[in-house]
Amino acid sequence: LFASRTRNSISKIKSSRQDLTFGQLKIYYEEAGYKLGNAFAKNLELHTEDGAFNYAAYLLADKNNTSIKVAKYSGSNRADLVESNEYGNECLVKATKQVIDKIALENRTATKITSKERQQFQLWNPIALREAIINAFVHNDYTNEIPPKFEIFADRIEITSAGGLPEGLSKQEFFEGFSVPRNKELMRIFKDLELVEQLGSGIPRILEYYGKDSFGFSENFLRMTFMAKETAIANGGVIGGVIGGVIGGVIGGVIGGVIGGEMSNAIDNATALTKRQKEVLKLIAANTAITYNEIAEDLGINESAVGKHINAIKDKGFLGRKEGTRGYWEVKVSSRKKKD
């Protein structure tokens, strides 16, 4: 194991590899407006006291052997694994972003039809999920080479990170947002790249949407369990028609079926929007946590084009953003029929 027996700190553990490169990390810093100089490894505390690359550097390098998996099961237990995706063995920042995108892809909009109206809702709160994923990556105890784990069941999502509560931190303090960073080097980098806003904000934000009983503590692990909305489970479960109906290739029919005829028609009738802008807006209406990359893939265009279309839609008053870059989209198109 990499772990030294002096103290559990990835900054003091020497990487088993010293031929590390950081191309991906440099790109992320450049995108955030920073330019990393030749002394970046020292400035980001990626060296041990004797000048060797430490375990934090290993985790952030272009290539490593840290496996990050997202598993999906057909039922409510682990008996039937239907999908296992590997997002590790590369820069931890890139792995984090890929897991966020994958979970967002699974968190589709479900529809419940009542006698009075068509109700649409996401299976899980996207803000809480994002916070939980980032929390698992940043606060995971990597000293025993155990990565965080992400599992999708028919009725819930489980996110498990190694390491119980940090030494000296009580459960009450944990829930109140007091933070004892287990990996301050990772925390600093994630904050530089705007993946985290401020120390201790993640758990209170999750608690805005889920109760304390969503957190399970043991001596060596922390598990966060987020149940899907009961109405979604009652209408056939998470994995089935909801996800299958969304992933189809024909934008008009598939999206129309998911977000409901009224919203789709309202977007179609928005004469201020171009045909492409309507397609973008329909995708966002179907999944308010959708990413630029997902829109680009669905429409077969590049991300810069997506950005231009979204800016135009926002300028025309049809789209807003809640909670900033860490939040979700708000479609501002009325789907209510006008009274005669």
Domain check: are 77 and 168 in the same one? yes
**Cα separation, 103 vs 110, whole angstroms:** 15
Answer whether residue 40 is part of any domain: no
Q: What would the pLDDT profile of 105-148 be if each residue is shown by its tens digit?
A: 899 777 666 656 667 778 999 999 999 999 999 999 999 899 99
- What is the predicted pLDDT for the residue at 117? 67
The pLDDT value recorded for residue 332 is 87
264 vs 133, more confident: 133
Q: Is residue 107 part of a domain?
A: yes
Among 28-42, 141-155, 199-213, top mean pLDDT goes to: 141-155
Name the nearest CA neighbour of 28 among 96, 103, 105.
96
Among 161, 196, 231, where does a domain finish?
Answer: 231
- Assess if residue 12 is contained within a domain: no
Q: Is the pLDDT of residue 306 over 60?
A: yes
- The pLDDT confidence band at residue 334, using thresholds 50, 70 and 90, is low
Query: In this structure, is residue 37 part of a structural domain?
Result: no
pLDDT grade for 15, boundaries at 50, 70 and 90: very high
Same domain flag for 180 and 295: no
The CATH number of the domain where 315 resides is what?
A: 1.10.10.10
The two structure tokens encoding residue 32: 């955030």
Query: What's the one-letter identity of residue 239?
Result: I
Q: Both 134 and 263 in a single domain?
A: no
Q: How far apart are CA 184 and CA 191, in angstroms?
A: 10
The pTM score is: 0.68
Which has the closest alpha carbon to 237: 29, 80, 34, 36? 80
Residue 307 has pLDDT above 80, yes or no: yes
Distance CA(337)–CA(262), nearest Å, equals 8
| Residue 189 confidence (pLDDT) above 50 | yes
Domain match, 213 and 258 both = no
User: b vs e for 230-264, b when ≥16 Cβ sit within 10 Å of the residue's Cβ?
Assistant: eebbeeebbbeebbebbeeeebeebbbbbbbebbb
Asked whether residue 340 is assigned to any structural domain, the reply reads: no
Round to whole Å and give the CA distance between 7 and 143: 9
Average pLDDT over residues 306-321: 90
CA distances from 223 to 94, 227, 249, 254, 326 (A): 22, 13, 35, 35, 22
Residues 205 and 283 in one domain: no
Taking the CA atoms of residue 241, residue 243, residue 245 and residue 246 in that order, the dihedral angle to the nearest 10 degrees is 160
Q: Which domain holds residue 172?
A: 69-231
Q: What's the mean pLDDT in 252-261?
A: 46
- More confidently predicted of 170 and 255: 170
pLDDT at site 239 = 46
